[in-house]
């Protein structure tokens, strides 16, 4: 069983307003991410909320997506949301797909390629790569979760990945979307449909 953990708990301080709720085509930034994940072969989608959690949950409810609220979102950074997500998935989940809620350019083909790679190799850490740059989403098997769960700030998920660079299996993709997210108004205006 693969559960997508969507990290959507940020303060959106650089954006100046909640990123997840910004219009994106006929939906929102987060709505677009959820649509792509729903179209892929995932067993469950879990969204970790934080800032503007009521508005974010209002996007998730109609999509039938489960949410969990990170009460430490203002001080815990991304690591606390990732850890809460791992602790909140069903016991049957073998692997988590770590997804950024502010990455509406996410492509179904990339998600499905990562899933096929996991099923085909059984490797415990799988990441997409575009022109030798790794990005999101990425897969991490349950056997590695204890290492993520024992981390404390100022450590970050990037530290976890850097320490395990030798065991990462890379899936080469032909899209820069894996390294593109929306951090500020300029990013949003440049990329919104």
DSSP one-letter code for 168: P
| Averaged confidence pLDDT in the chain | 95
Q: What is the per-residue DSSP string for 15-68?
A: TSS-GGGSEETTEEHHHHHHHHHHHSS-SEEEEEEBTBHHHHHHHHTTTT-EEE
Considering the domain boundaries, does residue 108 fall inside one? yes
Condensed to tens digits (0 to 9), the pLDDT of residues 89-109 reads 999 999 999 999 999 999 999
Residue 152, pLDDT score: 94
Q: What is the pLDDT of residue 189?
A: 92
Written as one string, the DSSP assignment of 137-167 is: SEEEEGGGHHHHHT--TT--HHHHHHHTGGG
| Residue range of the domain that includes 106 | 2-183
In this prediction, residue 10 carries a pLDDT of: 87
> With 90 as the cut, is the pLDDT of residue 115 above it?
yes
Q: Does 109 map to a domain?
A: yes
pLDDT score of 13 more than 90: no
**How deeply is 69 buried, as exposed, middle or buried, from its count of CB atoms within 10 A (0-12, 13-18, 19+)?**
middle
**Burial class (CB within 10 angstroms; exposed 0-12, middle 13-18, buried 19+) of 109:** middle
Q: Give the angle subtended at the CA of 100 by the CAs of 120 and 184, to the nearest 5°.
A: 145
The band of 12, judged by pLDDT with boundaries at 50, 70 and 90, is confident
Q: Domain containing 138 — which CATH number?
A: 3.90.550.10
Distances (CA, A) of 64 to 18, 28, 45, 58, 174: 21, 16, 9, 10, 31
Which tens digits make up the pLDDT trace of 157-183?
A: 999 999 999 999 999 999 999 999 898
pLDDT at 16 over 90: no
Find the range with the poorest average confidence among 43-47, 71-75, 141-145, 152-156: 71-75
Question: How many domains does the structure of the chain reveal?
Answer: 1
38-52: average pLDDT: 94
Q: Encode pLDDT of 47-98 as tens digits.
A: 999 989 999 999 999 999 999 999 988 887 899 999 999 999 999 999 999 9
Assigned domain for 188 exists: no
Report residue 11 as tokens.
């303060």
């Amino acid at each position: 069983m693969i559960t997508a953990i969507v990290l959507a708990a940020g303060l959106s301080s650089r954006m100046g307003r909640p990123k997840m709720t910004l219009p994106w085509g006929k939906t929102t930034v987060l709505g677009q991410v959820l649509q792509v994940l729903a179209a892929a072969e995932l067993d469950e989608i879990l969204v970790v909320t934080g800032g503007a959690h009521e508005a974010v949950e209002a996007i998730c409810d109609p999509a039938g997506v489960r949410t969990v609220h990170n009460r430490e979102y203002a001080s815990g950074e991304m690591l606390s949301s990732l850890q809460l997500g791992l602790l909140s998935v069903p016991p049957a989940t073998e692997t988590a797909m770590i997804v950024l809620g502010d990455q509406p350019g996410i492509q179904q083909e990339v998600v499905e390629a990562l899933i096929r790679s996991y099923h085909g190799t059984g490797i415990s850490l799988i990441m997409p790569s575009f022109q030798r740059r790794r990005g999101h989403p990425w897969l991490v098997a349950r056997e590695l979760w204890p290492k993520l769960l024992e981390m404390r700030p100022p450590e970050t998920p990037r530290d976890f990945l850097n320490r395990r660079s030798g065991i990462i299996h890379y899936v080469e993709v032909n899209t820069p979307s894996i390294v593109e997210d929306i951090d500020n108004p300029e990013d949003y205006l440049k990329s919104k449909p």
